[in-house]
Amino acid sequence: MPKKCILCDKEAEYSIKGCSESYCKQCAIEQFHDVDYLQRIQEESKKIVALVDDALEEGISDDEEMSEEE
């Protein structure tokens, strides 16, 4: 049986390491802003997590403002 988000009761995709609390993707990002703290429940969300991690670490606008790097 899939876990449920403790906030909105949707199907959870992340759980806190060492805890039984689980969150859906949206709530996880809203709560923690960084899903690095969380454990993925579904492999499927791997791509999304990678994108979110990347955006957070790079400051999102890296691609759009290449000229600023010079």
Instruction: Catalog residues that contact Zn ion under the rule CB under 5 A.
Output: 5, 7-8, 10, 24, 27
- Residue closer to Zn ion by CB (options 44, 69) is 44
How near is the Cβ of 55 to Zn ion at its closest, in Å?
Answer: 20
- Residue closer to Zn ion by CB (options 10, 56) is 10
SS3 assignment, position 30: helix
DSSP element (H, E) containing 26: helix 25-32
How near is the Cβ of 59 to Zn ion at its closest, in Å?
Answer: 26
Beta bridge partners of 16: 38
Cα separation, 50 vs 68, whole angstroms? 24
